[in-house]
Amino acid sequence: MTRTTQWVYGWLMLLPALFLLALFTHYPAVANLWHSFFSTPRASRPAVFIGLDNYRTLVDDPIFWQSLINNLWYALGTIPLSIVIALAMALWVNGRLAGRGLLRLAYFTPTVLPMIAVANIWLFFFTPEYGLLEQLTRSFGFATHNWLGSKSTALPALMIVTVWKEAGFFMIFYLAALQSMSPHLAEAAAIEGASRWHFFRRVTLPLLMPTTLFVLVNAVINAFRLVDHVVVMTRGGPDNATSLLLFYVFETGFRFWDSSYAATLTMVLLAILATTALLQFFVLDRRVHYQ
């Protein structure tokens, strides 16, 4: 087989995947960008080209900025905590302990639950007066509190739900990385008299950096695409305290039927996720792999 034949054969093998990728990823993104330059069509008025008017409206939109700030705080509150808890759980269940199979199952169970089911479970926990959390706090003498109805606690309550659901998912990747490490590393460190903490800090943690990068990128993407929990638990309230970017896109497009402005908001979201991907491939990826 000649080199040209191999090249043609390789591209023919990739063609179905490239077609599906272009059809369901690249084309919608380009169409969304094009749609953001037009007004929203109505029953008696077709869409007209308005240029950058939607983007000028976005700059002056206070709900957009609040949703963006909420999303940044949400990401800052959930990503580090989820990764740290996932790593701690992976280190624990990777050791020799009785019933570790059941423990792994218990950690991973929240991941396989549907997001709507998870939201309804935690909605009961946070319910004022008779919710599980209220029963616990009342037993210690604390006053009742509307966790999802207060601006100061609504967003942290959503963060707790996310950490509870995602930590077990990220644990699987860390556990797989730990099990792929050679046991001779620990044996050599023990012969040299290295402590467990020193071995973790100098050997285990650096070797886990590629996995940490993968988990980090997924955690960032998840933080900016959450909508299910917000719809079920708070609907963006109180007073937009839990309105996140994707939820605002959902509200704008499907509740207020302003599809062109929703497309503009979507482009901002895509820009954030694209920046994250570029940061991974061109900056962080070169710093975490050890050859």
**For residue range 45-86, what is the model confidence (pLDDT) as tens digits?**
888 999 999 999 999 999 999 999 999 999 999 999 999 999
- Phi and psi, residue 15, nearest 5°: -60, -45
Return the axis-axis angle of helices 154-179 and 62-94, rounded to nearest 10°: 40
- Split at pLDDT 50, 70, 90, the class of 194 is confident
Is 144 contained in some domain? yes
* Average per-residue pLDDT for the chain: 88
Number of domains in the chain: 1
Is 223 contained in some domain? yes
Is 187 contained in some domain? yes
User: For the residues 212-227, what does the mean pLDDT come to?
Assistant: 90
- In the three-class reduction of DSSP (H, G, I as helix; E, B as strand; rest coil), residue 249 is classed as helix
Q: What CATH number corresponds to the domain at position 268?
A: 1.10.3720.10
Is 27 contained in some domain? no
Nearest to 162 by CA among 194, 203, 132, 119: 119
49-53, 132-136, 200-204: which is most confident:
49-53
- Split at pLDDT 50, 70, 90, the class of 98 is confident
Is 56 contained in some domain? no
Is 52 contained in some domain? no
Question: Does position 291 have pLDDT exceeding 60, yes or no?
Answer: no
Q: Which residues of 73-90 are buried (b: 16+ CB within 10 A; e: fewer)?
A: ebbebbbebbbebbbebb
Is 113 contained in some domain? yes
Nearest to 62 by CA among 238, 240, 237: 240
Check: CB of residue 280 under 8 Å from CB of residue 218.
Answer: no
Of 22-26, 94-98, 259-263, minimum mean pLDDT range = 94-98
DSSP 8-state class, residue 264: H
Is 7 contained in some domain? no
For tokens 């549907």, what's the residue?
114
Residue 204 one-letter amino acid: T
Residue 220 one-letter amino acid: V
How many CA atoms within 13 Å lie on the side-chain side of 159? Answer: 19
Domain of 127? 61-288
pLDDT of residue 1: 65
- Split at pLDDT 50, 70, 90, the class of 192 is confident
User: For the residues 81-106, what does the mean pLDDT come to?
Assistant: 87
